[in-house]
């Protein structure tokens, strides 16, 4: 009955929430319709310009540096630009801002200085019609759309948290209920014991039950307990011992703290920066390379400049001190390994050996890097180039193996010397 | 044995066993004298074998000021048919202020064919896509955060020639920083060919826009004219790949 009522309550409440959200969002939606109607009316009214054409041009050429709102980006926000400057000035500026600055135009020079002398590219191909269309688009642009988006987000968040609250409430209620039951049960047992103690007509067995006391010492000293503990102790110690011995020389799971809290999850995962952008040697040489600070600076001269972690890069450059990254994969010196051989000729993905690196906050060694691990892969992996019949480089190799009755698609790394000791140890 | 002792031992063992591996600990090594290099090796742990000679205990040394990377000294490119293209030397020693000179004089020594453009695409995806986006529209995941990334497919930028793009990759332009230390000159020229595809100047097999397929042969750019590769007056030539500018 309770859950039935609870379900009803939830239903009623979610209905209520939906109604509230709808009531709140409705005026915004209506406003948007109004603005589109307005914009259409505007573009229809002035036959010299096309808001749609302006939008297209703006998004393709201007948006990376300018917002159509009053929020500045690389360049100023353009809302109300037609009120600030004359149309002829704007046309001259867009077509060639440097020319205007060099001609000594005061407005142009002031603007250039204000934005750190960052030159705006010349758009000499833009006709007067193009520029007027862009201006019309900026004028017609209503930030209502942005507000609406924000509104949507909050409503989504709102319902999500409401659902979570219901669940928490339910769980909390159940815990309180169980605690109450526990208290009631304890009270009942105590009452019963007290009542039974007053009863004179109890036999011996019943008396024993009523007067029972829990003797911890006796339990600990019992043979059964000591045997169980002994066996458990032996098992735990042997497991720990065997683990330690088996792990000698294996560093899988090693995830050292780095001097800068660099996250591969953020860079390679969320921002989709290619591994080779920073690890410049991975397709070219033996080592994948740790990027020098100038590679960090390609993005971080702009992005997250005030973050204390990024400040460490700036400090390293200023003091001409290397950043002391801790090497994670320590392949023993007695073995040779070459990245390019595996990534270019072998066509392996980084994840093949490094695990899901794009999901790691802190880099952890995933593969054991033991000889058995290397050899297993060499035994199973097909030579990609040889399997590809169109690759003429492997013609002689295919012919040589055909004599032994080995098909091109079956030539594995072990067949081309992948198990030779001296391939890796010399 | 007293039961109290047993309890303590059990608790201690369980406690120790449950600690697990410390992420900062490499564990026990069987033969450290075979694992760690005795000679100084680049990119190996400083704590293993601290270098007492170089600054900061580094094993690698900075090249002497003005050193030219070997890969830039003389570069040739051999295509699938075995034809060799001479990439020359001096064309890579452009000064960062010489973009107009580069635009006028630098010609792509590589042929615009399917093979080169496919290689250029891989390199573009590696070095450029994060900011400039897959279509070159400047809407890459990083580009949106960086802001002010050029749209390669529209406006003035879509008209830039190979020499200009090569110079921009080498020295940067506007908000973009130089990529000379990451991208070798040959790779830069390959990227240039793919950027021409994004600009709409040619298709993925190297056929120039507005040209018939038969004219493809003519569209390929030959070796650069030596006459054009003189240093322009008043421009101080510094190797972009020398250590001096690499650290900028």
- Asked if B174 has any chain A CB less than 8 Å from its own CB, the reply is yes
pLDDT recorded at residue A53: 86
The tens place of each residue's pLDDT in chain A, 426 residues long, gives: 444 554 554 554 444 444 444 444 444 444 444 444 444 444 444 567 788 888 888 887 888 788 888 877 778 888 888 888 888 888 888 888 888 888 888 888 888 888 877 778 788 878 888 888 888 888 888 765 444 444 444 333 444 455 667 888 999 999 999 999 999 999 998 888 888 877 777 777 777 777 776 677 778 888 889 999 999 999 999 998 998 888 888 888 899 999 999 999 999 999 999 999 999 999 999 999 999 999 999 999 989 999 999 999 999 999 988 898 999 998 888 999 999 999 998 999 999 999 999 999 999 999 999 999 999 999 999 998 888 888 888 899 899 999 988 888 899 999 988 999 999 998
Domain membership of residue A423 (yes or no) is no
- For the domain that residue A45 is a member of, what is the CATH number? 1.10.760.10
pLDDT recorded at residue A203: 75
Of B219 and B94, the structure prediction assigns the larger pLDDT to: B94
Nearest-by-Cβ selection for B36 from A250, A254, A333: A333
Chains A and B form CB pairs within 8 A to the count of: 161
As for how many domains chain A has, the answer is: 2
- In chain B, where the domains are located: 3-57, 70-246
Q: Tell me: do A7 and A124 sit in the same domain.
A: yes
Residue that has been written with the tokens 């019609």 in this structure: A129
Nearest-by-Cβ selection for A327 from B43, B146, B248: B43
Q: How far is CA B7 from CA A56, A223, A235, A237, B25, in A?
A: 77, 14, 16, 15, 30
Q: Tell me: do A122 and A233 sit in the same domain.
A: no
Task: Give the separation between CA B7 and CA B202, rounded to whole angstroms.
Answer: 80
Q: Tell me: do A15 and A138 sit in the same domain.
A: yes
User: Residue B55's closest chain A neighbor by CA?
Assistant: A321
Task: Give the separation between CA A402 and CA B45, rounded to whole angstroms.
Answer: 46
- Asked if B140 has any chain A CB less than 8 Å from its own CB, the reply is yes
pLDDT recorded at residue B239: 44
Domain membership of residue A395 (yes or no) is no
For residue A289, give every residue at least 6 positions away whose Cβ sits within 8 Å of its Cβ, in sequence order, or none.
A279, A280, A281, A282, B43
In the structure, what pLDDT confidence band is assigned to residue B231 with cuts at 50, 70 and 90? Answer: very low
pLDDT recorded at residue A384: 86
C-alpha closest to that of B120 among B211, B198, B218 = B198
pLDDT recorded at residue B232: 44
Task: Give the separation between CA A217 and CA A229, rounded to whole angstroms.
Answer: 15
B112 with B222: CB under 8 angstroms?
A: no
Q: Tell me: do A32 and A116 sit in the same domain.
A: yes
Domain membership of residue A61 (yes or no) is yes
A268 with A357: CB under 8 angstroms?
A: yes
Q: Tell me: do A24 and A120 sit in the same domain.
A: yes
A375-382 contacts, C-beta under 8 A, 24 or more apart? A375/A418, A375/A419, A377/A413, A378/A412, A378/A413, A378/A414, A378/A418, A378/A419, A379/A412, A379/A413, A379/A414, A379/A418, A379/A419, A380/A412, A381/A346, A381/A412, A381/A413, A381/A418, A382/A409, A382/A410, A382/A411, A382/A412, A382/A413
Task: Give the separation between CA A75 and CA A90, rounded to whole angstroms.
Answer: 14
- Asked if B30 has any chain A CB less than 8 Å from its own CB, the reply is yes
Decide if A247 and B29 are in contact by the 8 Å CB cutoff: no
pLDDT recorded at residue A201: 74
User: Residue B19's closest chain A neighbor by CA?
Assistant: A240
Q: Tell me: do A106 and A237 sit in the same domain.
A: no
pLDDT recorded at residue A39: 44
Of A70 and B217, the structure prediction assigns the larger pLDDT to: A70
Task: Give the separation between CA A271 and CA A389, rounded to whole angstroms.
Answer: 37
Q: Tell me: do A21 and A132 sit in the same domain.
A: yes
Q: Tell me: do A138 and A222 sit in the same domain.
A: no
Which of B1, B2, B3, B11 would best serve as a mutation to test chain A binding (most A beta carbons within 10 A)? B3
Decide if A237 and B13 are in contact by the 8 Å CB cutoff: yes
Please write the tens of the pLDDT for every residue from B85-111. Answer: 877 654 556 788 888 888 888 888 888
Q: Tell me: do A23 and A141 sit in the same domain.
A: yes
**Considering A131, A146, A161, which residue would you say is the last residue of a domain?**
A146
Q: Tell me: do A109 and A232 sit in the same domain.
A: no
Of A176 and B7, the structure prediction assigns the larger pLDDT to: A176
Cα angle A30, A32, A36 (rounded to 5 degrees) comes to: 120
Domain membership of residue A16 (yes or no) is yes
- Asked if B39 has any chain A CB less than 8 Å from its own CB, the reply is no
Decide if A240 and B17 are in contact by the 8 Å CB cutoff: yes
- Asked if B150 has any chain A CB less than 8 Å from its own CB, the reply is yes
C-alpha closest to that of A80 among A34, A135, A123 = A135
For residue A292, give every residue at least 6 positions away whose Cβ sits within 8 Å of its Cβ, in sequence order, or none.
B181
From chain B, the residues in CB contact with A118 under 8 A are 148, 174-175
pLDDT at B219 over 70: no
Domain membership of residue A274 (yes or no) is no
Which of A332, A363, A365, A366 would best serve as a mutation to test chain B binding (most B beta carbons within 10 A)? A332
CA B103 to chain centre: 21
DSSP string of A48-101? Answer: T--HHHHHHHIIIIITTT--SSS--SSS---TTHHHHS-HHHHHHHHH-HHHHH
Question: Domain range holding A32?
Answer: 2-146
From chain B, the residues in CB contact with A255 under 8 A are 23-24
pLDDT averaged over chain B? 77
Q: Tell me: do A8 and A131 sit in the same domain.
A: yes
Structure tokens at A368: 């054991």
CB atoms within 10 A of CB B7: 12
Task: Give the separation between CA B149 and CA A66, rounded to whole angstroms.
Answer: 11
Q: Mean pLDDT throughout B191-214? A: 84
Q: Write down the pTM of the prediction.
A: 0.70
Structure tokens at A232: 């458990």
CATH class of B70-246: mainly alpha
DSSP string of A279-302? Answer: -TTTTTSSS--PPPHHHHHHHHTT
Domain membership of residue A220 (yes or no) is yes
From chain A, the residues in CB contact with B25 under 8 A are 254
Decide if B130 and A233 are in contact by the 8 Å CB cutoff: no
For residue A241, give every residue at least 6 positions away whose Cβ sits within 8 Å of its Cβ, in sequence order, or none.
none
**Partners of B77 in the beta sheet?**
B85
- The ipTM (two decimal places) reads 0.79
Domain membership of residue A8 (yes or no) is yes
**Considering A119, A146, A173, which residue would you say is the last residue of a domain?**
A146
From chain A, the residues in CB contact with B34 under 8 A are 332-334
Q: Tell me: do A33 and A141 sit in the same domain.
A: yes
- Asked if B142 has any chain A CB less than 8 Å from its own CB, the reply is yes
Domain membership of residue A97 (yes or no) is yes
**Considering A246, A265, A286, which residue would you say is the last residue of a domain?**
A246
């Amino acid at each position: 009955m309770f859950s039935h009522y609870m379900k009803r309550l939830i239903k009623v409440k979610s209905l209520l929430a939906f109604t509230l959200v709808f009531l709140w969002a409705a005026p915004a939606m209506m406003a948007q319709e109004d603005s589109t109607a307005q914009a259409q009316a505007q573009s229809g009214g002035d036959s010299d310009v096309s808001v749609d054409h302006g939008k297209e041009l703006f998004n393709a050429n201007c948006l990376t540096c300018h917002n159509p709102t009053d929020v500045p980006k690389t360049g100023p926000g353009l809302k109300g630009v037609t009120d600030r400057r004359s149309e002829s000035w704007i046309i001259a500026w867009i077509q060639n801002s440097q020319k205007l600055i060099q001609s000594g135009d005061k407005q142009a020079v002031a603007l250039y200085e204000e934005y750190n002398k960052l030159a705006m590219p010349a758009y000499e191909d833009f006709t007067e019609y193009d520029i007027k269309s862009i201006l019309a688009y900026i004028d017609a642009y209503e930030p209502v759309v942005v507000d609406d988006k924000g509104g949507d987000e909050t409503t989504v968040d709102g319902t999500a948290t409401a659902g979570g609250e219901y669940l928490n409430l339910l769980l909390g209620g159940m815990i309180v209920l169980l605690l109450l039951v526990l208290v009631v049960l304890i009270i009942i047992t105590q009452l019963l014991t007290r009542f039974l103690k007053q009863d004179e007509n109890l036999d011996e067995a019943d008396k024993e039950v009523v007067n029972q006391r829990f003797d911890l010492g006796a339990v600990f000293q019992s043979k059964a307990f000591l045997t169980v503990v002994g066996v458990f102790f032996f098992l735990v110690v042997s497991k720990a011992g065997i683990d330690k011995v088996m792990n000698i020389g294996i560093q899988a799971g090693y995830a050292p703290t780095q001097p800068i809290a660099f996250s591969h999850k953020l860079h390679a995962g969320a921002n989709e920066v290619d591994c080779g952008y920073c690890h410049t040697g991975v397709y070219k040489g033996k080592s994948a390379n740790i990027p020098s600070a100038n590679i960090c600076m390609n993005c971080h001269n702009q992005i997250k400049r005030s973050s204390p972690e990024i400040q460490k890069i700036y400090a390293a450059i200023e003091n001409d001190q290397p950043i002391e990254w801790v090497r994670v994969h320590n392949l023993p010196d007695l073995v040779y390994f070459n990245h390019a051989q595996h990534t270019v000729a072998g066509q392996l993905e980084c994840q093949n050996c490094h695990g899901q690196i794009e999901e790691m906050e802190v880099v952890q060694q995933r593969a054991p890097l033991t000889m058995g691990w290397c050899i297993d892969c060499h035994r199973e992996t097909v030579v990609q180039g040889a399997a590809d019949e169109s690759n003429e480089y492997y013609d002689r190799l295919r012919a040589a193996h055909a004599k032994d009755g080995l098909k091109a698609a079956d030539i594995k790394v072990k067949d081309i010397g992948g198990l030779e000791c001296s391939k890796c140890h010399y | 044995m007293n039961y109290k002792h047993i309890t303590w031992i059990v608790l201690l063992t369980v406690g120790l066993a449950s600690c697990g591996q410390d992420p900062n600990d490499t564990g026990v090594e069987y033969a450290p004298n075979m694992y760690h290099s005795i000679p100084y090796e680049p990119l190996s742990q400083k704590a293993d074998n601290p270098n007492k000679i170089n600054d900061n205990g580094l094993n690698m040394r900075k090249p002497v000021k003005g050193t030219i990377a070997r890969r830039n000294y003389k570069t040739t490119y051999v295509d699938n048919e075995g034809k060799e293209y001479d990439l020359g030397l001096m064309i890579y020693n452009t000064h960062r202020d010489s973009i107009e000179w580069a635009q006028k004089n630098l010609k792509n020594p590589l042929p615009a064919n399917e093979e080169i453009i496919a290689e250029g695409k891989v390199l573009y995806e590696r070095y450029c896509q994060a900011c400039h986006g897959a279509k070159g529209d400047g809407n890459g995941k990083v580009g949106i955060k960086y802001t002010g990334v050029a749209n390669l497919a529209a406006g003035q930028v879509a008209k830039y020639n190979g020499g200009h793009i090569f110079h921009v990759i080498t020295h940067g332009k506007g908000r973009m920083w130089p990529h000379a230390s990451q991208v070798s000159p040959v790779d830069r020229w390959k990227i240039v060919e793919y950027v021409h595809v994004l600009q709409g100047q040619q298709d993925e097999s190297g056929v120039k826009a507005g040209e018939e397929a038969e004219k493809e042969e003519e569209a390929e750019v030959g070796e650069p004219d030596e006459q054009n590769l003189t240093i322009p007056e008043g421009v101080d030539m510094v190797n972009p790949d020398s250590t001096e500018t690499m650290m900028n």
